[in-house]
Amino acid sequence: MAKPEEVFIRRASGLVRVIGPWDALAYAFMNPGIMYCFLYIIWTHQLYPGVDMRWTAFPGVGLMFFPALLYIWFSIAMPRSGGEYIWGSRTISPAWGFCACWGLSMVGISWAGTCTGWAIWWGLNMAFRAIAVSELGPLAATHPLWKLADFLDQPGPTIVLGTILIISFFIIMWRGARAAMILSWIGVITATIGHIAFDVGVFTGGGFSAFVERFNALSGTTYEAVIEAAKAGGWPVGIYIPSVTLGAGITYVALNTLGSTYTANIMGEIKEVRKASIVAMLGALILFMTYWAIFYNIAYIGFSGDFWAAAAYFSPGGAGEGTWEGWPFGSVMPMPNFMLVYLNPNVAYAVVSSIGFFLCTYASCMGMAFGPVRNIFAWAFDRVIPTFFAKVDKRGSPWAAVLLGAIIAEGFFILQIFQPMWIAYSILAWFFAWAVVGVFGILFYFVPRGRAIFERSPDIVKKRIGKVPIITIWGVLCFIVGVLLDYYMLVPFFQGLISPLYIWITIGFFILPPFIIYYISRYYHIKKGIPMDMQFQEIPPD
């Protein structure tokens, strides 16, 4: 029989449990981005014409409780770094466990790189543009700060500044879990300040009537002209469809909660696992629902749903982009934090809201990579990828996995700048992975290895309704959610709004590679006489 050190690369993971329940909540709530609703109010109107965003927060976020409950049950049963990889590989299949975890990890790291650009374009630059509008109105484009924002929007400057940001937040991650949690709290605090600045700015500025008046004075066009031009283009302004609203809510609102489950992937560093998993993953969803319900309602009160529908039509990526010469913003995204200057004469509200977007997005980029980096560590600890990436320093930080994560994020960041749509539908892989994790939950009790872990688990994991384990029910519901969300994500393809190429890119990068990597690794280690199959019969050491 193999000795323990022959099964695993060492007797202990080397990670240190330093994250408490409230830190875990901050981390979960920050991912993938508390203020991304400022962007999705435009994107959702583009992809789901006829949406009313005021009704999306509750169904969108509410649906996420089902996967979260499955994640909580599994996290309590197997509290190790690696999340889905550990659950699947120890119960059903190492290849499928790796597949689910790979998809979720690569999506997270890819968006950590991608959203670095968001922090610059729609956070920092929006603060500059708001100041320019407040000082020069229709002539804002001649202001030095507007020109600075235009300069930073260009690929070269974006790459330089974005690379500095990526290096900096990976250095914070390398400093250890404690440093990462501090940045998570900074993200939560700055996002809250940014939200409050927006909300207060709407109400102290005079609301919708003040917006129309200032927009007409400062934009070079009129509110009425924007609405009429969008209607003339055939866009459904003023037409709100309940079924479309539901579809948008359970896709674009739901996907903005996904990173909260990364808490499960860092369980090897969390104290009080049961309390932390419940507080973090359920608490984050409640906070998401509250923040976004308030934001979407206030955004409609201050600017009107008609304006956001029309703005989506003429904005970059919209069906009417470049079709109307009177559109005052050109290729600039009319983000709510920026548009606030057209409602409230005190530019400080727009600036604070924009800086809040910048800082919380910066923190969320770290967060979206932090969990996946721990997954890389777990794969290396099992020899699925080279064991070099399981190295830790004296603080217990997996520095080699952090380095690999930084390289991957930088690659996605640069690729996004030149091919901005190629990973736009990578989220399909996320929902596919959730469907797979749902299957893990369904089968957990009914397969021998899963049953053994189930019987050794804390009492909450072993609870039943009648004779059916609750974790089986959570598995069924998680599977349904994954399939349903993938369907709704595919609706724009069915309508011809998006090229099918993106489906093949998603399959080719986010779904197929883990099977290839796993079976190559398995063959290699069998040839070397390493009992790779044996390690999947045990939960990795703490």
What is the DSSP code string of 156-219?
HHHHHHHHHHHHHHHHHHHT-HHHHHHHHHHHHHHHHHHHHHHHHHHHHHTHHHHHHHHHHHHS
- Assign residue 44 the CATH number of its domain: 1.20.1740.10
Is 487 inside a domain boundary? yes
Let me know the angle formed at the C-alpha of 423 by 331 and 503, rounded to the nearest 5 degrees: 120
Q: pLDDT tier at 424 (50, 70, 90 boundaries)?
A: low
Render pLDDT for 369-383 as a digit per residue (tens, 0 to 9). 999 999 999 999 999
pLDDT for 169 beyond 60: yes
d(CA 160, CA 141): 23
The residues, ordered by sequence, that sit 6+ positions from 240 with a Cβ below 8 Å of its Cβ are 50, 51, 52, 305
391's CB contacts (< 8 A; 6+ apart) are 398, 399, 400
Query: What are the start-end ranges of the H helices in 315-346?
Result: 336-339
Number of structural domains, the chain?
1
In a domain, 541, yes or no: no
Confidence bin at 247 (pLDDT 50/70/90): confident
Owner of token pair 């005190």 = 346
How far is it, in rounded angstroms, from Cα 375 to Cα 380? 9
Distances (CA, A) of 175 to 77, 116, 542: 29, 20, 20
Provide the mean pLDDT of the chain. Answer: 93
Neighbour count for residue 451 (Cβ, 10 Å): 14
Asked if the model's pLDDT at residue 60 lies above 50, the reply is yes
Average pLDDT over residues 119-148: 97
Say which residue, 246 or 109, is predicted with more confidence: 109
* For range 378-401, the mean pLDDT: 93
* pLDDT at site 321: 96
pLDDT recorded at residue 231: 97
Mean pLDDT lowest among 78-87, 246-255, 396-405: 246-255
Task: Give the other-Cβ count within 10 Å of 160's Cβ.
Answer: 11
- How far apart CA 9 and CA 400 sit, in angstroms, is 15
DSSP at 137: G
Grade residue 422 by pLDDT with cuts at 50, 70 and 90: low
339: left (phi over 0), alpha (psi -120 to 50) or beta: alpha
User: Averaged over 313-342, what is the pLDDT?
Assistant: 96
Find the helix packing angle between 470-494 and 427-443, rounded to 10°: 160
Examine the pLDDT at 486 and tell me if it is beyond 70.
yes
Which residues constitute the domain of residue 237? 4-535
Determine which of 226-240, 431-445, 522-536 has the lowest per-residue pLDDT on average.
522-536
Per-residue pLDDT of 495-524, as tens digits, reads 776 677 777 888 888 889 999 999 999 999
Q: Is residue 524 part of a domain?
A: yes
Q: What 8-state DSSP symbol labels residue 145?
A: H
Per-residue model confidence (pLDDT) at position 4 = 46
321 within domain boundaries: yes
Q: Check if the beta carbon of residue 366 is closer than 8 Å to that of residue 173.
A: yes
Which is more confidently placed, 537 or 345? Answer: 345
Query: What percent of the chain is predicted at pLDDT more than 70?
Result: 97
User: For residues 523 and 25, what is the distance between their CA atoms, to the nearest angstrom?
Assistant: 41
Residue 540 in any domain: the answer is no
Exposure of 20 in the CB half-sphere (CA atoms within 13 A): 3
SS3 465: strand
| pLDDT (tens digit per residue) in 18-38 | 999 999 999 999 998 999 999
Could you give the 3-state DSSP secondary structure of residue 113?
A: helix
Q: How far are the Cα atoms of 142, 218, 220 from residue 326, in angstroms, in the given order? A: 18, 13, 8
- Position 7 scores a pLDDT of 65
Q: Is the pLDDT of residue 1 over 50?
A: no
Structural domain includes residue 542 = no
Tell me the two tokens of residue 308.
Answer: 């956001």
In the beta sheet, which residues pair with residue 468? 465
Residues making up the chain, counted from first to last = 542
Residue appearing with tokens 């649906």: 63
Whether a cis peptide bond, with omega within 30° of 0, leads into 32 is yes
